[in-house]
Every structure is written in structure tokens, then in C-alpha cells.
Structure 1
Amino acid sequence: MEQIMQLIFEHSDALFIIILSIFLGVEVISHVPAVLHTPLMSGANAIHGVVIVGAIIVMGHSESVTALILGFLAVLLGTLNVVGGFVVTDRMLEMFKKKKKVSK
């Protein structure tokens, strides 16, 4: 427990910045209009694609089994994140399409 407290004390500046960035992120995201959520979501999905490429590069240069497993998990979870983001974006775009009238 003493080591944890010492670690927190040594990195208190970094922890303070992380906590402030969390509050700032929540405030910024909560004030984004609903119309902008779809384009922002698509942009975030494109950025997550870069994460997948980086994870593949890490896997290619791994020298241990641990690094290979972590790289594989990063690729797997990054892919799930991108696919899920595009599914959500597609559902949001469906809300803006006009519904077809059924003729009797």
C-alpha cells in the first residue's frame, strides 16, 4: 500500500491532468449538438482505424509471446470498436431518412 501511495505522490501532476481532461471531455461531449454526432462518430471511427494499423505493426515487431498476445487483443478490440461505431453511425443515419409510404 505504501508503494501505491508513493507512486501516486510521484505522479500527482499527471493524475491531476488526467482527471481534468476527463471533466473537460465530458463537458465538451455533452454540449455537442445532436446533428454533429454522426460526422464526429465517423471521424472517430477513422481514427480508430489508425489504432488497428499500429497494433498490427506492433504484432509484426513483437519479440515475445506476451507482446504478440497484447497486439492481437489490440487488433481484436480495435476492430470491434470500429465495426460497432459504424453500426451506430448507420443506425443514426437511418433516423434521418424519410419513411416510405405504404400504398393500399
Structure 2
Amino acid sequence: IASQTVIRRLPGLPVPPRSVIVERVPPPPPRPRDILMERWIPYGPQAKRRTLLQRAPPPLPYPAPRNVIIQYEQAPARIVRNFQRLGVTAASPSAYVQTYGL
């Protein structure tokens, strides 16, 4: 491969990022740990190759993106405890079924 000539066409500059709307929500509960898999690639001697670089034409100007960030806060929990002691009254089960049904 040492005598082979490689021509690489380099891409132009990437398009700038688009306008984005970022919504930030409160963090979710923790997730389980990730499973990592490793793969070892054997090393070997690399042959020297002649490389020709062809640059891309200059990019066209793009308008600057307008970014919006919407950030939500944790919703406050409001607990209202209201106890009403109405007392205990004697009642007939048949009268209850007749009034309220099953």
C-alpha cells in the first residue's frame, strides 16, 4: 500500500447550528448503572501513504441562530390536611342501602 496514492476530498465547513428552544425539566429519578463493553483492537505497523488534500470552497454566510431557553423549576408540593370530626351516629344498614344504594 506504500506506493498507492490516496486522494481525500475534505468536506466544507459544517452548517452552523439552527435556532433551538431548550426546555429544562426537573431531573428524573436515578437510572441503573450503564453496562460497559470493551473491545481491544490489535496494533500493527502502519504503512506510509501519500495523501493529497483538496480543500472545500469557503462557506456561505448564515444568519446567527436565535436560541431560547425555557427552564422549569421543581413544582412545590402543597399538602392541605383538613380533618372534620362529624361524630358517630347509629344507622340501619337497610336504610343506608335504600338511601345511597350499594
Give the TM-score normalised by the residue count of structure 1. 0.17
Larger RCO of the pair (alpha carbons < 8 Å, separation 6+): 2
Query: Larger radius of gyration, structure 1 or 2?
Result: 2
Which structure has greater helix proportion? Answer: 1
Which structure has greater strand proportion? Answer: 2
Give the TM-score normalised by the residue count of structure 2. 0.18
